[in-house]
Amino acid sequence: MTQESNFRQAIKKLAEAIGTLENAVDARLEREQDFAGAQEEVQRMNTDRARLADLLDESEGRAERLADANREVSGRLVSAMETIRAVVDR
């Protein structure tokens, strides 16, 4: 009877060990899924960052062109006002 009892205890311990192993595997798979989700989110964020950087570069270029145009228009206005003053003074 002691052999049968020892055998049952061994099977019980084996079943517990298998249960523990299954739980560990499930936890590991869950962490890997979370990690994969995080990697996807980082990839999306990097894509968005690159898109936003391109938009920023375009906006900065446009702002620079507008500033140049503003300076040119301002210079022309000053020149036109000086011409008008010269004509009015005569």
At 40-67, the pLDDT tens digits run 999 999 999 999 999 999 999 999 999 9
| 58-86 CB burial, b ≥16 within 10 A, e <16 | eeeeeeeeeeeeeeeeeeeeeeeeeeeee
Query: Residue 62 has what pLDDT?
Result: 96
CA distance 32 to 36: 6
Average per-residue pLDDT for the chain: 93
Q: How many domains does the chain have?
A: 1
- Give the residue numbers spanning the domain of 52: 1-63
Average pLDDT over residues 63-90: 94
Q: Would the pLDDT of 33 be above 70?
A: yes
In a domain, 73, yes or no: no
Decide if 16 is inside a domain.
yes
Q: How far is CA 28 from CA 32, 34, 37, 41, 81, in A?
A: 6, 10, 14, 20, 77
Amino acid 47: pLDDT:
96
Q: Identify whether 33 is part of a domain.
A: yes
pLDDT, residue 1, reads 59
